[in-house]
Amino acid sequence: MVFDIIPDIHGQFDKLTHALRALGYQERKGAWRHANPTRM
């Protein structure tokens, strides 16, 4: 299992979404999910 650690973003939602997309996550059904099910 692989864990992606993102520190406290202090209300920087745009930076958070950018980081998630850069890591390969996609927003689906209101949640951010990675195509690889072993990645969290």
How far apart CA 38 and CA 15 sit, in angstroms, is 24
The conformation of residue 35, written as its DSSP 8-state character, comes to: S
The conformation of residue 36, written as its DSSP 8-state character, comes to: S
Where residue 30 falls (left for φ over 0; alpha for ψ -120 to 50; beta otherwise) is: left
What is the pTM for the complete model shown?
Answer: 0.78
pLDDT at 40: 86
pLDDT at 32: 93
How far apart CA 11 and CA 36 sit, in angstroms, is 27
pLDDT at 15: 92
pLDDT by residue, tens only, the chain of 40 residues: 899 998 888 999 999 999 999 999 999 999 999 999 898 8
